[in-house]
Amino acid sequence: MLEVDALASPWTVRLMAWGTIAVLVAFHRFRHLAAYLVIVPGATLLLSAVTQEIGRMRPVGVTVLGPWQGYAQPSRPVATLTLALTGVLYTLVPAGRWRNRGRWVAAVVIGVFCAARLYLAVDHPTDQVTALILGWPLAVVGFWLAVPHDVFPVSYRGGRQAHLDIGGRRGEAIVTALDHQLGLAVTGVEPFGLEASAGSTPLRIHVREPDGAKSALFGKLYALSHLRSDRWYKLARTVIYGRLEDEKPFSTVRRLAEYEDHLLRLMRDAGLPTPYPHGFAEITPEREYLVVMEFFDGGQEMRRAHVDDRVIDDALRVVRRMWDAGVAHRDLKPSNILVRDGKVLLIDVAFAAVRPTPWRQAVDLANMMLTLALASTPEHVYERALTVFAADDVAEAFAACRSITIPSQLRSLMRADGRHLTGRFRQLAPARRPVPIQLWDIRRAAATAALVAALAAAVILSGIYLKVAGLL
Amino acid sequence: MTPRRGVVLATVLLAAGTVLTGCAAVGDTVPGCGDPLRLAIIAQSVPGASYVPCLHDLPPGWSTSGFDPSQDGTGFLLNSDRSPGRPVTVRLTVACNTGNASPSPSRGPGVLTYTRLYSIAPRFAGTLYDVFSGGCVRYEFDFADGSQVALMEQFEQAVGLYPRQQLRLVLKRELGVELSP
């Protein structure tokens, strides 16, 4: 029994806690990590506070056989072991069959441990009941609230964490909302192109037309998690780019959906080849919205399509039209540029801006030319560009172009390609001094200072917090 | 409101209430001499000790921390804002080595008090012992020269010794349990 009791020593619990943290970091499950770092040490602090109120002596009238420390009520070793196991179950183990099995295993482990401590007479039964209440249901409710399974499932099947599960009640809600709000007879909804999207959950929606014909629409499901991601993304861009960008974050999920729907309509009115908007549906008020648009059936990503002069010219004319219409796409990369029947189509206008800075428009041109050059040569793309743009425009585009202005997908494809495309375009275009992008203003300086201060404070407070909570 | 939301809300309110009430008590870690039911844990840490240390009202500027009862004894710290970073360490154990310590005025019936000084200036540092049947309380102090008279008097007044016999009677009367031995 002493050996069983020793198994749940503070070092065992610490090992489990740090192991959980290490796995969460390794799998980039930062939301679960944040929840864990709030709930588990928080519950430990709560345990300390409760102990001050209801702490009592060890059992009397019997010989205490095992080692003990502190008050008996609530049983601290039982509570911390239970918390550690709950943390593992709700942050590392996928919900469903595996978590159910894990619950049974945890229950057996805790049961044996409690029995050992009762045998050793170091705890009263009620000490253990109080500890189990603190370590299990309270922590489980915390995890339900912080990382609900429907929104943040634990999964090891790959894919981005931002994507929502569209099965179950959410799937039913989507079908009902599309029927009631947009009049669509939905026959099926499936995830589509998850690997290329991080800011929403992209869906292919199968619908039945009034004449019975089948067709497909494209949907982007936005939730609170995407809103928060958008805020962080924009804060990062503010720090990196400075005042050349308008990076006001959206205040609600509804605004996010409204903005994309508005941009789709604006671009359609400007004659740009973007998906036809079908409006957006409210799935859960102020929490989840689904933007619905035309599905470009048969469209191929630029990197997989045959790119000839017709495609190059069309792509460059699309950029020209955006310039003329006073809009910028701001995320031009191969996965957002489709080709169908020799025509270029643009998707994912969520980051687009109306009346952008000339710098941003120049960057759009550079990114389009780099995308085209991946499927052709910089010399040829430059030659075709001169039929649509002035040489100075191209020079300005590549003077404004930096590594951080190129979307990460395009950047990695350029690295894999091996040719120094940006340098070659600069050689071809008239000489022009680089456009400085590291401009500082009060907002950017404040955002940077606040971010650095917040990170430093987080590190210091985490250290204090973990120390107080017994994890250090 | 769905049943699940109700459960969640109730649990959050319960937790918040517990935290708020619990936090108010954090810091009052060492049992007071007027709270014998909580002193029992100290008595259990040294089962044969005829006295257990407890806390009278703390003088202004003093606080306690690190209360740690276990099967090997009980320890805690007394912190004074006039001696920052150098708390008085109080520890109840089965026995103490009082060799080379000088007898001092006794702090209670059946209690032998000793003092051993390591330094007088520039710091007033040493150990005070309260030795009694079955146990001993050791106080390690390290004060700046000049403030030691008041600080010594204050911490000696702050820490009292509660008779085990009296504690046994209280526990029998209040809880109906026999404190052993």
Same domain? A149 vs A174: no
Tell me what pLDDT residue A194 has.
Answer: 62
Task: Report the range of poorest mean pLDDT among A270-279, A363-372, B97-106.
Answer: B97-106
Q: Is residue A133 scored above 50 in pLDDT?
A: yes
Residue ending a domain, choose from A279, A294, A309:
A294
| B51 Cβ neighbours under 8 A, 6+ residues apart | B108, B110, B111, B130, B132, B135, B137, B161, B162, B163, B164
What's chain B's length in residues?
Answer: 181
Contacts A49 to B, Cβ<8 Å: 18-19, 21-23, 25-26
Which residues in chain B are contacts of A79 at CB distance < 8 A? Answer: none
**What CATH number should be reported for the domain holding residue A352?**
1.10.510
Query: Is A449 within the bounds of a domain?
Result: no
Structure confidence at residue A195 (pLDDT): 62
Burial class (CB in 10 A: 0-12, 13-18, 19+), A283: buried
**From the list A60, A64, A141, which residue is nearest B177 (CB)?**
A60
Residue A455 lies in a domain: no
| Residue A157 confidence class, pLDDT cut points 50, 70, 90 | low
Listed by number, the residues of chain B in 8-37 with a beta carbon closer than 8 Å to a beta carbon of chain A are 8, 11-12, 15, 18-19, 21-23, 25-26, 28-29, 37
Do residues A121 and A59 touch, judged by C-beta distance below 8 A?
yes
Q: Which residues of chain A neighbour B41 with C-beta distances below 8 Å?
A: 55-58, 70-72
pLDDT for residue B25 is more than 50: no
CA A445, CA A452: separation in Å to the nearest integer? 11
Asked whether residue A445 is domain-assigned, the answer is no
Give the closest-approach CA distance of A69 to chain B in angstroms.
4
User: Which of A16-25, A248-257, A323-332, A439-448 shows the lowest per-residue confidence on average (mean pLDDT)?
Assistant: A439-448
In this prediction, residues B162-179 reach a mean pLDDT of 88
Q: Tell me if A204 is assigned to some domain.
A: yes
Residue among A52, A58, A68 whose CB faces B22 most closely: A52
Say yes or no: A207 and A233 in one domain.
yes
Q: Quick one: A73 and A203 in the same domain?
A: no
* The pLDDT of residue A472: 62
Closest Cα in chain B, distance from residue A469 (Å) = 14
What is the pLDDT at residue B24? 33
Residue B21 is predicted with a pLDDT of 40
> Do A306 and A288 belong together in one domain?
no
- Do A8 and A147 belong to one domain? yes
Q: Which residue(s) pair with A327 in the sheet?
A: A354
pLDDT band at residue B88 under the 50/70/90 scheme: very high
A90 and A178, same domain (yes or no):
no
In a domain, A248, yes or no: yes
Contacts of A459 (CB under 8 A, 6+ apart): none
CB-CB neighbors (< 8 A) of B22 in chain A: 46, 48-50, 52-53
- A346: amino acid identity, one letter: L
**Range ranked top by mean pLDDT from A161-165, A192-196, A368-372:** A368-372
Instruction: Point out the domain boundary residue: A271, A294, A317.
Output: A294
Chain B residue with CA closest to A49: the answer is B22
In this complex, do A56 and B28 lie within 8 Å of one another by their Cβ atoms? no
**Nearest-neighbour CA in chain A from B167: distance (Å):** 13
**Same structural domain for residues A126 and A18?**
yes
Give the total number of structural domains in chain A: 3
Q: Give the mutation candidate from A38, A51, A52 for the B interface (greatest B CB count, under 10 A).
A: A52
CATH of the domain at A205: 3.30.200.20
Q: In terms of domains, do A234 and A191 share one?
A: yes
pLDDT over 90 (residue A364):
yes
A61/B178 touch (CB, cutoff 8 Å), yes or no: yes
pLDDT at B6 (0 to 100)? 54
What was the pLDDT predicted at A243?
59
Of A197, A174, A175, the C-alpha closest to A185 is A175
Most A CBs within 10 Å, among B9, B41, B42, to test the A interface: B41
Distance from CA of A300 to the nearest CA of B (A): 45
Structure tokens at A173: 């809600």
Q: What is the dihedral of CA B76, B78, B79, B85, to 10 degrees?
A: -60
Residue A398 host element (H or E) = helix A391-400
Q: Which of A57, A136, A467 to mutate to test the interface with B (most CBs of B within 10 A)?
A: A57
Q: How far apart are CA A289 and CA A292, in angstroms?
A: 10
Residues 1-60 of A with CB under 8 A from B: 46, 48-50, 52-53, 55-58, 60
Choosing from A247, A267, A294, the residue where a domain stops is A294
The whole-model pTM stands at 0.61
**What is the predicted pLDDT for the residue at A367?**
95
Host domain of residue A13: 2-156+463-468
CB–CB contact A56 B41 (8 Å)? yes
Q: Note whether residue A438 is domain-resident.
A: no
Please state the rounded mean pLDDT for residues A273-298.
Answer: 92
Residues A370 and A387 in one domain: yes
Establish whether the linkage from the previous residue to A74 is cis, with ω within 30° of 0: yes
pLDDT the model gives residue B23: 37
Mean pLDDT of A397-419: 89
Lowest mean pLDDT among A364-373, A397-406, A438-447: A438-447
A104 and A219 within one domain = no
Residues A290 and A307 in one domain: no
Question: Which of A46, A69, A141 is opposite residue B18, by nearest beta carbon?
Answer: A46
Write the secondary structure of B110-137 as one string of H (helix), E (strand) and C (coil). Answer: CCEEEEEEEECCCEEEEEEEEEECCEEE
Same domain, A129 and A196: no
For residue A59, tell me if it sits in a domain: yes
pLDDT over 80 at A137, yes or no = yes
Residue A453 in domain: no
